[in-house]
Each structure stands twice: as structure tokens, then as C-alpha cells.
Amino acid sequence: MDKVAMAENRVRLISERPRRVSFPSGPGVGSAAAMRNAEEPTPAFSPLVCWTHPEWVQRFPWLAQGTTGRSPGEREGDFRLFDAEGRLEGNPNWLELARGLGFTGVRHARQMHGKDILLHREPGTGLFLGTDADGHVTSATGILMGVTVADCVPVFLVDPRRRAVALLHAGWRGVVAGVLEEGISLLREELRADKEDILMHLGPAICGTCYEVGPEVHAALDLPRPEGPVPVDLRGVLTERAVGLGLLRSHITRSSFCTRCNGSPFFSHRAGEAARQVAFLGIQPS
């Protein structure tokens, strides 16, 4: 058994659980307090479906975390913002998600498969597109961050002691560029996170059986170079990199979902789909 396959066996698999996004109504709309207030009218439900880490839901009620998936409705859960030529298009799903989770807005950026990461300090309203980047970091309440994925790995980093969080988009090029290393570095240097307190979850992504790539990709990832195209497990690679950076293996979990395997509730670029889901992370408004 190779190093990556052994890593997969040692890291706990988590099956995310689905939930429907709900809209709060009445006084205090958009706040977590309004969503918890039993005297408020029952929230209306959005067609959007998201998949959340069940252990984090129980342990961290202050955290908003998950990955959207295929959903009913006109757009079927598609969160694409840019067309094939890179032109910005409108998509109401973004604000519907933010509102349904109790936020007034959401932060995103055009993703370049690199290591640039944005640090967010102040909440805002509406959809905010920052400079091109593949990750987001914050410790401020009321900021919802999002990255789009459709086979690439959404990486969720949480320091629950300091309530510092990071969300990364990690395809193989981003992994090679060092997006994980940059994300952990920003958490530690800017937000004083402790590497031994950081939890990492590797969300729904293409699995190590479905993701066949050429020898040059294996070599770029510092894996043994095969004779021809063979599969690679990006979540296994990210696990080993995180442990090498000082994260505790017991603090790392990975989704049991593959975005491409038959019956997946998620979109897959490798399966020929143009649609994208969004991974989101934020600290709930007070």
C-alpha cells in the first residue's frame, strides 16, 4: 500500500448530512438570533441543499460550514458566476445562500488555481468579489466566505479556540503552488492560530479512483512518477502536507463523498458538467 493510500485509511471519513437553507423572517432578519428565536414565524425553505460536517454542527454552533449540492429549482444549485469567456454573470443563488444562513453578504473571488488568499476583517452586504484568489481567511463575525468547486478539494480550516477560520480551493495546481501552506501561515501569523488547535476538513471532491492524471502531475505533487496516467488522491496528498506542517492527524477529517462516482449529489467537471457547487465557511453573526 502506498503512502497516500495509507493516509486515507488513517484519516476519519465523514459523511456530510444534507439540510435545506431556510429564510428567517420578521424583526432581526438575517441574524443568527432571529433564526433561533422560537417566537419568530417558521422560516420559509429555499430550494438550495447544502451538506454539513455533522460533528462541527454539534460542537460549533457559532460556525456556518458546508458545501452546496444538486438542488431543485431553476438553477439546480449551480453557483457559476463567470461564463466560458470569463465574463461575470448574475446568479441569485449566492445571496439566497447568504440570506438563508443568516448573513447579509458573501465573499468570493475569481479562482486562479494559485495560492493567493484574501484576509477579511469587516462584514459587508451583497456579493463581494475581491481580487483574484483561491482562499479566504477571517476571524470576524458576520463574514460568509465561498469557493466554487466541481472536483477540486474544498479545504475547511478552523481554530475553535480563537475562532479563526480559512476556506481554500485546492486543485492539483493550487496544491503544488502551496495554497494549503499559505492558508495555514495566514491563520497563524495574522490571526494567531495555533497549529495544534487547527481542525481541517477535506470536503466533497473527486476521489483517488476517479481522478486519473498524467505522470507530470504526480511528479509536480512530489509523488513517484508513474509510467503513464494513473489516479491520484488529492485529499491524501493534502493530508500528508498538513501533517508535515504540524497539524495533528487526529484533527483531520475527509468527506466520504466523491463528486464523480455514480449517484453523487454534487457536480463534477470530469463528468462533463459545467455547473459548480460552493463550499462556504463563516462565523455566524451575533
Identity at 190, one-letter amino acid code = E
Q: How many CA atoms lie within 13 A of 207 on its CB side?
A: 16
Q: Which residue has the higher pLDDT, 43 or 106?
A: 106
Q: Which helix (H) or strand (E) holds 217?
A: helix 215-220
Cell digits of residue 280:
462556504
Is the per-residue pLDDT at 7 higher than 70? no
CA distance 35 to 28: 9
Q: Is the pLDDT of residue 151 over 90?
A: yes
Secondary element (H or E) of residue 149: strand 144-149
What pLDDT does residue 173 have?
98
Fold of 3-283: CNF1/YfiH-like putative cysteine hydrolases (3.60.140)
pLDDT, mean over the chain:
90
Q: pLDDT, tens digit, for every residue of 71-127?
A: 998 899 999 998 777 788 889 999 999 999 999 999 999 999 999 999 999 999 999
pLDDT given for residue 43 in this prediction: 72
Q: What is the mean pLDDT of residues 32-52?
A: 65
Give residue 10's pLDDT. Answer: 77
